[in-house]
Amino acid sequence: MATAIITGVTGQDGSYLAEQLLAQGYRVVGLHRRLSADNHWRIAHLQAQLELRSVDLLDQGSLLDVFEDVQPDEIYNLAAQSFVPTSWRQPILTGEVTGLGALRVLEAMKRACPSARLYQASSSEMFGAAEAAPQTERTPLRPRSPYAVAKTFAHYSALNYRDAYGLFVVCGILFNHESPRRGLEFVTRKVTDAVARIHLGLSDSLSLGELSVRRDWGYAPDYTEAMQAMLRQDSPRDYVVASGKDHSVEDLVAVAFGVVDRDWRDHVHIEPALFRNNELPGLCGDATRAAEDLDWAPKVDFETMIDIMVRADIERLDCGS
């Protein structure tokens, strides 16, 4: 039985990854930060099968203790402060958790289990104001938010530990990926939750910022499958994971309202206060390397993903949860 450690197991990606690995017969040890409020709703259906350990990425000793005890075959570092607007309000915390937290994971691996394989969650936000489109593994990084800067630090730390110590470390440069388990603060869930509320008569409007912003959106369970494939290669290599198609926020809104046969223009209001600092006008990824090496391609397209999310939010709200 192979053993995997997942940091950030209570998040969207962590929950899908844990689900998939457990189905493959893995022993899965999920690391989470102890909070006063329970945030385990994404993994509630898995908790009987998971081993949960309370660890803080700010505490090197707690990471080292767990890695020494578990001796994992695979490590997936998914933990981060991942909401870009929060990174502007809390840049130091974002740097500590998202940037230095990854370095602490790498150092714990080097000391406790150097023969393990590690996946580092990098981000398309690192490309920032990209000088080329679509973005590939060779596109220069130009981060434009504290979150993106922290992810870039983590990314280069992973590359340095791989080169300097011969560790099996891969970086997945994932473009935006969504699902019904996405946090409500992210624009996709903000939209699908609002559409569900309007459909059920619980609300009548939705306030948004800039509608012209474009992103390459994919379905989270597809992307966690790519993470696993990266660690199962003969040698470590970094990969862009993306759909290769970009859509605007306006496209997102139109598709979501279309699921319930409504015209979005009757409900959406533009709120200037919601415009972001240093907003990136557009990102779109080229996952050719992943297709060639990993035989990976997204299974769920943009429209289907939004349909899944809207219907899941309707069901959740209709059940009163």
Q: DSSP 3-state assignment of 111? A: helix
Beta strands at 214-215 and 247-248: parallel, antiparallel or unpaired: antiparallel
Measuring CA to CA, which residue among 260, 263, 244 is closest to residue 306?
A: 260
- C-alpha separations of 272 from 143, 275, 276, 277 in Å: 23, 6, 9, 12
Q: What token pair was written down for 274?
A: 């919601």
Query: What's the angle, vertex CA 147, arms to CA 126 and CA 34, rounded to 5?
Result: 130
Active-site residue flag, 125: yes
Instruction: Measure the CA–CA gap between 30 and 78, rounded to whole angstroms.
Output: 11
Between 101-112 and 60-70, two packed helices, what is the crossing angle to 10 degrees?
Answer: 40
Active-site residue flag, 147: yes
Phi and psi at residue 181, in whole multiples of 5°?
Answer: -95, 5
Q: Could you please report the per-residue DSSP string of 85-139?
A: HHHHHSHHHHIIIIIIHHHHHHHHHHHH-TTSEEEEEEEGGGG-S-SSSSB-TTS
Beta strands at 177-178 and 218-219: parallel, antiparallel or unpaired: parallel
Beta strands at 168-174 and 3-7: parallel, antiparallel or unpaired: unpaired
Q: Residue 156: is it exposed, middle or buried by C-beta count within 10 angstroms (0-12/13-18/19+)?
A: middle
Q: Residues 82, 87, 122, 123: which is the catalytic one?
A: 123
Neighbours of 276 (CB within 10 A): 14
Q: Residues 147, 161, 219, 239: which is the catalytic one?
A: 147
Active-site residue flag, 145: no
Q: Residues 16, 26, 122, 125: which is the catalytic one?
A: 125
Measuring CA to CA, which residue among 178, 123, 173 is closest to residue 287?
A: 173
Give the active site residues: 123, 125, 147
